[in-house]
Amino acid sequence: MEDRVYNLIAHWKQIRKLTYEFVRVVPIYVLNKHIERPIYDSMGKQIYELALMQRHYTDILDGKPADFSKMAPKNFKIHESAELTRALKTSDEYFFKVALIITDWESPIYEAMGRKHSAYGVVQMLVEHETFHQGQFAAISYLTGIKLPKSWKDEVSFHFR
């Protein structure tokens, strides 16, 4: 695997590690709390959606059509953080299994979001999607007084206090 791809995958692992830490630290009642956001109206539902979207992107990399209609149910609630951890872990396992067998990371051969992308581009979309939601989680946390995990302050440079 070339350095650029290796670095992207390493970056993905670091981004996902922050999501795992968020799930571990933030209480369930907070993750289930209603927020004013259409469809994904709780942070727990958004995290579950991160796992589903990762599977959809991985399906694309695996040569399968992604079914973006399969998302979290309307009244989705989590009962324990282990549910989200399992969903994320299952998606990670599938992703790394597929990523290990990709030989062409540069050719635009994958159809996603109505355009052709390289494998590198699909993984980059995955990273951007997770990072977008993490930004939402940070903003919601600051606005509502939720304490962010220490790793978020260390890794994401929330040094402006």
CB 85 within 8 A of CB 91: no
pTM: predicted TM-score of the whole model, two decimal places: 0.89
Q: Which helix (H) or strand (E) holds 55?
A: helix 43-61
The domain at 3-68+82-155 falls in which architecture?
Answer: Up-down Bundle (1.20)
Q: CA-CA distance, 14 to 2, in Å (whole number)?
A: 18
Average pLDDT in the chain: 88
Q: Which sequence spans correspond to the domains of the chain?
A: 3-68+82-155
pLDDT of residue 73: 74
pLDDT in tens, 78-123: 899 999 999 999 999 999 999 999 999 999 999 887 889 999 999 9
DSSP state of 62: T
